[in-house]
Amino acid sequence: MMRFLLLFSRQGKLRLQKWFTPMTEREKKKIIRDMTSMVLSRQPRSCNFLHWKDLKIIYKRYASLYFCLAIENQENELLALEVIHRYVELLDKYFGNVCELDIIFNFEKAYFILDEFLMGGEIQETSKQMINRSIEASDMLQEDDSSEWYEVELFG
């Protein structure tokens, strides 16, 4: 299972954080610090895998963004690399030549796309078409939706 996914820039600014297990804010901040310092200090032609505590860290740089994925010890590293790649492909398809700015200004969309792809630390759907279809469908829902907002009984 995957434990967390972080996206950060070359300057260490965090652009996206997805946590698949519950953690306190303090733990999260510490992990973010550790990850950014570890990954940013790697040499250019090293391998994409690191060991950190009892997890494996897979990282890859796309343009100005570092994608950092932590997986448990028995998971397959190469596949994790491809998980990252698949996510980038999805973002690319949605935003059209995605860049860091897209993710900054549409952060909530980045999360939604991630949610279509991964869930509870596992892959939900591996077909690009299927995911794109469901993203487009929900976009349609936004545009179509003209019903009035009304308060629904929350109790009962």
Q: Which is nearer to other proteins, 61 or 77 (CB)?
A: 77
Residue pair 63/103 in contact (Cβ under 8 Å)? The answer is: no
- Measured from the CB atom, the residue of 68 and 121 that comes closer to other proteins is 121
The distance of Cα 10 from the centroid of its chain, to the nearest Å, equals: 17
Cα distances from 120 to residues 22, 62, 63, 142, in angstroms, run 11, 25, 28, 25
Q: Which residues contact 19 (CB under 8 A, 6 or more apart)?
A: 3, 4, 28
Q: What is the nearest approach in angstroms of other proteins to the Cβ of residue 121?
A: 8
Nearer to other proteins, 49 or 61 (CB): 49
Closest CB 64 distance from other proteins, rounded Å: 14
